[in-house]
Amino acid sequence: MKKLLFVLLLAPFFAWAQKPIKPVKMHTVGPKENLSSIGRMYEVNGRVLANYNNIDYDKGLTIGQVLKIPPKGTTLEQVTGAPAVKTEQPKTETPVAKTETKPTPAPVAETKTERGTPVYHKVAKKETLYHITTLYPGITIDDLKKWNNLTGDGVTEGASLIVGYKQGTKDTPRMPVEKDEKPATNEVVKKEPVKETREAVVPETKPSVPLSARSTKGGVFKSLFDEQAQGGVVSEEGSLGVFKSTSGWNDGKYFCLFNNANPGTILKISSPATGKFVYAKVLDQLPDLKQNNGLLVLISNAAADELGISGTTANCTVSFAR
């Protein structure tokens, strides 16, 4: 009888230890960000964040990688599944009825919909659409253009842009809006983000269809380049670097980081070694990092693949509208 009572008293602790930790939001990695800086942003230890996303803490992150963010104050023991140490002895007189605790209902995921109360962001000096998407994980440049009826990539300093919609009409907090997620069981919520993280970490996966079948020569931004270049172009020569990205492999949309043109400008990047070229859209300036010293431009690894470049650096010629 005593053994049965002891097992019943310990049942809630085993149930608590097995309960998965649900992510409170998703975060898309931007330039200059790492596990420590993202952890400080959400008040979570960087190593806890690494273990929670099943990634190596010492290998760092890549631009565009999507991370699950655990609740504030989550510990390494909770993430790794180690049982928490209980210092209090179970009370022998605790009624058995207390073991039947009802789980707290999971909060309904916020949907990225155009119905509800709009959430606004005031554009700061020199801020770009790409930079705004890094502040509100889950939204894209196309979302911002659609919600604000924008036709170009430029934004005006001081303008108020819609960055999402919240359900309800009173005391709506201004916070990042997450993408649509169907209510699901804890098992589905746990597995789905892991799949997204693995795709971001291994962007070198080659497309299943040939490039000629998925894009025009040089990528889909060729027509935009021709339109911008009607007033003439300027050219610069220098070295290019490569960053990892999931874009471009299947849709022919190539992106780059460049200091000498505004975001949204289309660059024609040519390789004198291979004789090939691509058209890439400027997302932002080059991050101020030691490894970028001496580089003229950073291009996605999908763009480098179409140029026929196998290494991490190469000589190139960059042309763009005046």
pLDDT in tens, the chain (322 residues): 555 555 456 555 554 444 667 777 888 888 888 888 888 888 888 888 888 888 888 877 888 888 888 888 788 887 776 554 443 444 555 554 554 555 554 443 344 556 678 889 999 988 888 889 888 888 888 898 998 988 888 888 899 999 888 875 444 444 444 444 444 444 444 444 444 433 333 344 444 444 443 445 899 999 999 999 998 999 999 999 999 888 888 899 999 999 999 999 999 999 999 999 999 999 999 988 888 999 999 999 999 999 999 888 899 999 999 8
Domain 211-321 has CATH 2.40.50.180: no
What DSSP letter does each residue of 223-268 carry, written as one string? HHHHHHGGG-EEEEEEEEEEE--STTTTT--EEEEESSS-TTPEEE
DSSP assigned state of 105? P
Task: Tell me the H-state helices in 73-152.
Answer: 76-80, 129-135, 141-148
* Per-residue confidence (pLDDT) for residue 255, from 0 to 100: 94
Taking a C-beta distance cutoff of 8 angstroms, is the pair 292, 312 a contact? no
Does residue 278 sit in helix, strand or coil?
Answer: strand
**pLDDT given for residue 260 in this prediction:** 92
Q: What pLDDT shows up at residue 220?
A: 93
Cα separation, 289 vs 17, whole angstroms: 42
Residue 152 in contact with residue 103, Cβ under 8 Å?
no
CATH architecture of the domain formed by 2-99: Roll (3.10)
What pLDDT is attached to residue 294? 92
Give the pLDDT of residue 179.
42
Q: In this structure, which topology does domain 110-180 adopt according to CATH?
A: Membrane-bound Lytic Murein Transglycosylase D; Chain A (3.10.350)
Domains 2-99 and 110-180 share a fold: yes
Helix (H, G, I), strand (E, B) or coil at 279: strand
Pairing between β-strand 277-284 and β-strand 254-258 as defined by DSSP bridges = parallel
- The CA distance from 78 to 83, in Å, is 8
Which residues partner with 320 through β-bridges? 234
Extents of the domains making up the chain: 2-99, 110-180, 211-321
Q: Which run of H or E residues covers position 68?
A: strand 66-69
pLDDT at 4: 54
Asked whether the whole model's pTM tops 0.85, one would answer no
